[in-house]
Structure 1
Amino acid sequence: MILSSSPQFSLHRVGDDLVALYLVGTPEGITVIDAGIPGQWRDFLAELRAMGRPLADVKGVILTHGDSDHIGFAERLRRDHGVPVFVHEADAARAKGGPKPKNASQKMRLGATLGFFGHMIRKGGLRTTHLVEVEEIVSGQTLDLPGSPLIIGMPGHSPGSVAVSIPAVDAVFVGDALTTRSVLTGRTGPQPAPFTDEPAEALASLEALLPTGAKWVLPGHGTPWSGGVAAAVTAVQRAAQAA
């Protein structure tokens, strides 16, 4: 699904409001942000075909964090096609299958929760292959990838959660730093993401998004937000206060 395009750059989403990943197309190649769940591989290839681009044009995958519903087919790209996978140094072990802390009990609605986990099962989310090798990155780093993505540290959801700013497409990719649809309750609109390690820290990290001034705020779960980053952050803060 194409979200926006210009003569040189294009912005695409693969997936849906339950689990999504993103592609940024440039003349130099394609940068992929997150890798969803394994069964989205076919959807990913279909989007490349729709773009008229071969798999060889994919120059790198940036993971917003190391959770299983974001690393999806990343190891397949790395192992079979030589595509480097970038993840913050604090989440490198998590992306390789290391332990994840147990979160506090979560608010949920049965229908929404069953729908999410059913989707995960259908799309191979229980068969995720963890990374064997990663390229470790740090906050403030601009990667030598199409679109010159800037890494913004967003600790809270996980220690190494990051956002990825790509001004060429007026977008910031936030992973689970926030969500626009809770996979556990079905509630829509910008709000804190479930399964967050340190909720207070995650909320404080949102301030780091504001300097991007991005129009598009693109989460791993939920509808793409095109109302600007400041409005999204304010909405999340209000949702957290009301919870």
Structure 2
Amino acid sequence: MQGSTQGPAPRVTEHGGGVWALRVPIPDNPLGHTLVHVLDTDRGPVLVDTGWDDPDSWTELTAGLDALGLSVRDVHGVVITHHHPDHHGLSGRVREESGAWIAMHAADTAVVRRTREAEPGTWLDYLARKLAAVGAPEDHLAPLRAARAPGRTRTLPGLRAALPDREIVPGELLDLAGRRLRAIWTPGHTPGHVCLHLEEEHPARRPGHGRLFSGDHLLPGITPHIGLYEDPDDATETDPLGDYLDSLERIGRLGVAEVLPAHQHSFTDAAGRVRELLDHHEERLTGLLGLLATPLTPWQLAVRMEWNRPWDQIPYGSRNIAVSEAEAHVRRLVKLGRAEAVPGTEPVAYVAV
């Protein structure tokens, strides 16, 4: 297979050793695109992630494969780092065209199954309840109730995401002929996020232990969203940020030669990037403790936190993500004994201790 480029933004990037990256656009998203990786195996090409389920994304995915002298019908398998629609969206269509298997961690497969089986309005009702519980104002809840109107819910992404055929088992090598690709469970961004360690010598003989397909877990220039694991039927208080920080440290100890993430670009010095992210979250937790000198609900905390733009410029949907991230940080502070709920408050407010 041969790589090709078109203009200043290459459709295909060759990474050597039978690995390529294809740029698959994400509609109306500042990230721009997902890097879908193609891994050559003795039974045919395997994709790591597939991109968003959108006609333009499908066109770019197939065009990228064509640039490698491949058809989507040649795809032997699909390995999904996590269930989000910019990674798993096109998996079902790839399987329909090629007969390829799809592999995913069991925790994210459970999310896909739950989403497929639930009536779409269930998620809107759950989100409205969650947002009310963390202090969202009525004017923020009203659009969610309006979205329950007949026919509106069919437009939500991910409702018909493909159910995988295979389970990715942490610590085990995937069944890929001629390749050594080991699954590493890295929860945080999602409960079943996995990184994939290609345990083979780097094609340019860079020092380190192979390469890492890092999904959204480890990115060179941005911090992945760490929100709550959503399950309307489970009242267990999870600690996604704690999971993420623990997962980061495991990845840092691998000593890989190069990281191939699902966004932005490949990079080296994974351990250095891990240290930056650990420091970033510690600084953020410390900053939140300062804000929590006065009791605040998670919504009030999110309004006061520093984001990439002022709160009044953050789009509606992104505010939901922001308050989820604020609550994840609060849960971490509570678990560490650095904050606590204020008795008798409703919605519940938290204060530093």
TM-score normalised according to structure 2 size: 0.53
Name the CA distance, whole Å, in 2 between partners of 1:225 and 1:5: 9
Aligned residue type for 1:148: R
Structure 1 residue 38: deviation in Å?
Answer: 0.9
Aligned residue type for 1:205: S
Structure 1 residue 192: deviation in Å?
Answer: 4.1
Counterpart of 1:172 in structure 2 is: 212
Counterpart of 1:110 in structure 2 is: none
Residues 76 and 98, structure 2, Cα contact 8 Å, conserved in 1: no
Counterpart of 1:117 in structure 2 is: none
Name the CA distance, whole Å, in 2 between partners of 1:203 and 1:9: 31
1:160 matched to 2:192: yes
Counterpart of 2:162 in structure 1 is: 131
Residues 190 and 239, structure 1, Cα contact 8 Å, conserved in 2: no
Q: Equivalent of 2:267, from 205, 226, 238?
A: 226
Q: Which runs of 5+ in 1 are unaligned?
A: 106-123, 181-188
Structure 1 residue 202: deviation in Å?
Answer: 0.8
Instruction: Give CA deviations for 1:33-66 in whole Å, capped at 9, x if unaligned.
Output: 1122012211111111111123233221111112
Counterpart of 1:115 in structure 2 is: none
Counterpart of 1:33 in structure 2 is: 48
**Secondary structure in 1 aligned to 2:174?**
coil
Counterpart of 1:217 in structure 2 is: 259
Name the CA distance, whole Å, in 2 between partners of 1:72 and 1:18: 15
Name the CA distance, whole Å, in 2 between partners of 1:11 and 1:223: 14
Residues 191 and 235, structure 1, Cα contact 8 Å, conserved in 2: no
Aligned residue type for 2:259: V
Aligned residue type for 2:81: T
**Secondary structure in 2 aligned to 1:38?**
coil
Counterpart of 1:142 in structure 2 is: 173
Structure 1 residue 30: deviation in Å?
Answer: 1.6
Residues 73 and 97, structure 2, Cα contact 8 Å, conserved in 1: no
Instruction: Give CA deviations for 1:171-220 in whole Å, capped at 9, x if unaligned.
Output: 3122232444xxxxxxxx24343445411211111122134432332333
1:93 matched to 2:110: yes
1:56 matched to 2:73: yes
Counterpart of 1:185 in structure 2 is: none
Residues 106 and 168, structure 2, Cα contact 8 Å, conserved in 1: yes
In structure 2, relative to structure 1, the CA distance for the partners of 1:215 and 1:193 (3 Å cut) is farther
Aligned residue type for 2:165: V
Instruction: Give CA deviations for 1:49-101 in whole Å, capped at 9, x if unaligned.
Output: 11112323322111111222321110112233211000011211213353789
Residues 72 and 97, structure 2, Cα contact 8 Å, conserved in 1: no
Counterpart of 1:193 in structure 2 is: 225
Instruction: Give CA deviations for 1:122-154 in whole Å, capped at 9, x if unaligned.
Output: xx9847631134311210111122533210011
